[in-house]
Structure 1
Amino acid sequence: MHQFGGRERTGTMAMDKLEAMRVFTAVVEQGSFVDASRALDLSAPAVTRSVARLESALGVPLFHRSTRHVRLTDSGQRYYTHVKGVLESVQEAEAAVTGSYAEPHGQLTVTAPALFGHKYVVPIITEYVMTHGRVSVNSLFLDRVTNLLEDNLDVAIRIGALADSGLFATHVGDTHRVVCAAPDYLAERGIPRTPADLAEHDIVHATAVEPLTAWAFGKQKVKVAPRLQCNQNSAAVRAAVMGMGVTRVMCYQVADELAAGTLQLLLEDFEPPSLPIHVVYLEGRKANAKIRSFVDLAVERLRASSLACPISLTG
């Protein structure tokens, strides 16, 4: 009896720790103790006590607290990564027992570069939501690299070399930077034949693609003097179509304009190496049904898409 009682107490402690993990995760994802209490239908003091007990048991602070906001400490960020995986594993185990493990459910957060997201990811998300009635999707399309852990994201589409650790990645295609301008502009100003010729042209600078005003063509770098700088790639593309000047963007961002003839590729012999496109997610997170099913669909659809540039229109 005594031995059984010991097991019972151990089981109770494990359940208490699991509940504390759920409360901690809610505070992280809701951004405050008060909002977490509302989401969990608990009192704010109960949420505060639960997190305090967890910090006491771990021996480290998990949050930086202020009067309005909470922010994870470095230890808290590491703990959140592991706790999220534990809770998802528990959820999967419970779903397997109830027979619902094959049906994705919950909210999925997906991020991608803005124009890539609009053109390629929105159709995938739409298909996914229409297929899985118990899943909702929050999309975040930005021309900057997001942190999956800190921004509480599930899946990201990344273009370029991957610097993040702790990520799983599946290669789905490649793209590259291209230089282009409107035919009417080129008819008036002439076609640049070498990168050095860009010094004689008006430049529309897409800062999200080229943060610096020194454009690299292999080992050669050319300093450009932009007449217009745009922090959104779509704005730079629009200005170039209107004849403002020469711009440099990713080829998928101007694929429609190139196909329609409203923009023309330039300096193709000097194009830099291609950049890989990956679908990425946090290590271990693909075990979650909603993430696993979305990643599988995204990989299939993106690999089937035409991500390469159209045939040269300069000839």
Structure 2
Amino acid sequence: MLLWEGVMEFVAVAERESFTSAAKQLGISTAQVSRQISALETRLSTKLFYRTTRKVSLTEEGQIYYRHCRQVIDGLEEAERAITSLRDKPQGLVKLTAPVTYGEQFIMPLLNDFQLQYPEVAISVDLTNQQVDLVEAGYDLAIRLGHLSSSSMMAKKLTSRTQYVCASPQYLATYGTPHSLSELSQHNCLLGNHDHWRFQESDKAKSVKVGGSLRCNSGYGLLDAALKGLGLVQLPDYYVSEALASGRLVAVLTQYQEPEEGIWALYPHNRHLSPKVRMLVDYLAQGLDNSL
């Protein structure tokens, strides 16, 4: 029992960043929480929190200890749910990360709907285009787009996307329509974060270096530029599908289009999915499949 003393209090303080809030969550006094944390730090011979009058935050050692304790508690919560048949009522915190624009447009609306259906689930979302370390940062889940680099993460495909090269009818009328990849060098190509566009030629992946008068890390910024006739753009379907359907953009070089690429849910290889995370992943897969 000594190993468990102070663990629940420690996790509550780590997640609430407050001794007072942790005490309210656990239904005990703030003084009792403080005593348990102090005893735990003494037993571990390690300082777990930085404490100021305004903020409580984890030390580096505290972050490591929290990740392990959180996994153990998640395991216990799952065991209780299995015994009490609560798999259809997910509970607890899910921490996830997703790309900014895709997260705003597709992931957040589904997460909000999920919480309306399962109000006992708390969700913490970090929208970032940085490839964060899930284990190091303590995430349960990450949404990733396109080709996955090899890693120790497990992946579940949620849906897929297709990349289009397109331009406005006005641009094509003025500068002509490219019919081969070599002709891209003669066109103003609107760039995102990369100087190369991906294609498939003779069943083999091909990367073509392009250049132009605009570089922008916003898909919507590039879309607007293409709609205004500034050049060719390569963007995923969820940016350009409406403009293609209405004729405001025209797809070109479709014979060199890459096959569909996946949109994925990633989670740590050594972490068994809890019911709340598994149900959320399934919910996202169904919702994304219906939205495209």
TM range (shorter): 0.7 to 0.9
Paired amino acid for 2:271: G
Correspondence for 2:108 among 122, 125, 142: 122
**Contact 2:187–2:231, Cα closer than 8 Å, also in 1:** yes
Deviation at 1:290, TM superposition (A): 2.2
Q: What's the CA shift string for 1:41-71, capped at 9, x where partnerless? A: 3469657635534643xxxx79797999655
CA spacing shift, 1:220–1:162, aligned 2, 3 Å? closer
Deviation at 1:230, TM superposition (A): 0.9
Deviation at 1:151, TM superposition (A): 3.5
**Contact 1:62–1:76, Cα closer than 8 Å, also in 2:** no
Correspondence for 1:195 among 181, 185, 202: 181
1:89-108 map, 5 Å: 89-94=75-80, 102-108=88-94
Aligned to 2:38: 49
Aligned to 1:215: 197
Counterpart Cα distance in 2 of 1:229 and 1:267: 21
Counterpart Cα distance in 2 of 1:47 and 1:244: 64
Deviation at 1:203, TM superposition (A): 2.3
Deviation at 1:96, TM superposition (A): 5.7
Correspondence for 1:284 among 263, 271, 282: 271
Deviation at 1:205, TM superposition (A): 0.9
1:297 equivalent to 2:246? Answer: no
Paired amino acid for 1:267: L
Aligned to 2:26: none
Aligned to 2:3: 14
CA spacing shift, 1:46–1:64, aligned 2, 3 Å? closer
CA spacing shift, 1:62–1:236, aligned 2, 3 Å? farther
Give secondary structure in 1 for the equivalent of 2:214.
strand
CA RMSD of aligned residues (A): 3.4
CA spacing shift, 1:255–1:146, aligned 2, 3 Å? farther
1:129-144 map, 5 Å: 129-144=115-130
Counterpart Cα distance in 1 of 2:234 and 2:133: 26
Counterpart Cα distance in 1 of 2:216 and 2:120: 39
Counterpart Cα distance in 2 of 1:179 and 1:261: 14
1:177-256 map, 5 Å: 177-207=163-193, 212-218=194-200, 220-256=206-242
Segment drifting more, 111-120 vs 222-231: 111-120
**Contact 1:109–1:154, Cα closer than 8 Å, also in 2:** yes
CA spacing shift, 1:93–1:263, aligned 2, 3 Å? same
Give secondary structure in 2 for the equivalent of 1:108.
strand
1:72 equivalent to 2:60? Answer: yes
Counterpart Cα distance in 1 of 2:116 and 2:264: 24
Deviation at 1:227, TM superposition (A): 1.1
CA spacing shift, 1:244–1:168, aligned 2, 3 Å? same
**Contact 2:165–2:234, Cα closer than 8 Å, also in 1:** yes
Aligned to 1:309: none
CA spacing shift, 1:122–1:70, aligned 2, 3 Å? closer
**Contact 2:178–2:252, Cα closer than 8 Å, also in 1:** yes
CA spacing shift, 1:206–1:47, aligned 2, 3 Å? farther
> What is the aligned-residue identity percentage?
26
Deviation at 1:95, TM superposition (A): 5.0
Aligned to 1:160: 146
Deviation at 1:250, TM superposition (A): 1.9
Deviation at 1:102, TM superposition (A): 4.0
Give secondary structure in 2 for the equivalent of 1:149.
helix
Give secondary structure in 2 for the equivalent of 1:130.
helix
Give secondary structure in 1 for the equivalent of 2:95.
strand
Counterpart Cα distance in 1 of 2:229 and 2:39: 61
Paired amino acid for 1:37: F
Deviation at 1:261, TM superposition (A): 2.0
What TM-score do the two structures reach when normalised by structure 2? 0.77
What TM-score do the two structures reach when normalised by structure 1? 0.72
Give secondary structure in 2 for the equivalent of 1:126.
helix
Aligned to 2:161: 175
Q: What's the CA shift string for 1:225-280, capped at 9, x where partnerless? A: 23111112221112212222111122233222222222221211222343222222
CA spacing shift, 1:170–1:62, aligned 2, 3 Å? farther
